[in-house]
Amino acid sequence: MAGELKIRVNGAERSVNADPDTPLLYVLMNDLELKGPRFGCGLAQCGSCSVLADGVEIRSCVTPAGSVAGKSIVTLEGLPALYAQQKGLAQAPALHPLQEAFVETQSLHCGYCYNGMTIKGAELLSQNPAPSEAQIRAHMDGHICRCGTYPRVMKAIQLASLKIAGGAK
């Protein structure tokens, strides 16, 4: 039954009127009007709806909104602020280093997978700032790009890793 639901998204407490069983993705897209997470398969198979919950990637299309109470949700929009927090920067950069790297390497084609690739890649870089190619491959497994940009996504993550090593701000 619909009622007031409080969730913490991108550092702010948000309150919506929704059934706790509503997929988190619908709340993020429809109630909070966020443009990062996207509906792809709706079955936890593609990753286009991914967000971070306490730093861990979840598939928001199959996550009941009521189940994330008390957790900190970060969407694509919140990645620069999360990076600043992780690195102890006084100010959030305009883009997370991986977002910058995606732009600089022109990695994407249609861009539909961009949200999930960025969320999952950022999760990896926060756990392991200098991942090997094999580690990147293993971590990104399960994120589908229908345009087949996988080699370029690899390049972007590697560039972001170099940026982080160089003290990207």
Contact set with ligand FES (CB under 6 A): 39-42, 44-49, 59, 61, 108-113, 145-147, 149
130 vs 147, beta carbon nearer ligand FES: 147
CB nearer ligand FES, residue 16 or residue 46? 46
CB 37 within 8 A of CB 84: no
Q: List, edge to edge, every strand of the sheet that includes 3-9.
A: 12-18, 3-9, 72-74, 50-53, 56-59
CB 117 → ligand FES: shortest distance, Å? 7
d(C-alpha 26, C-alpha 7), whole Å = 13
Whether the Cβ atoms of residue 98 and residue 121 lie closer than 8 Å to each other: yes
* Nearest approach, Cβ of residue 155 and ligand FES (Å): 13
Query: Nearer Cβ to ligand FES, position 22 or 149?
Result: 149
In the complex with ligand FES, the residue whose CB is nearer, 159 or 164, is: 159
Contact 58, 52 (CB under 8 A): yes
To ligand FES, the closest distance from the beta carbon of 26 in angstroms equals 11
- Minimum distance, C-beta of residue 30 to ligand FES, in the bound complex (Å): 14
* Number of C-beta neighbours around residue 126 at 10 A: 17
Beta bridge partners of 23: 64
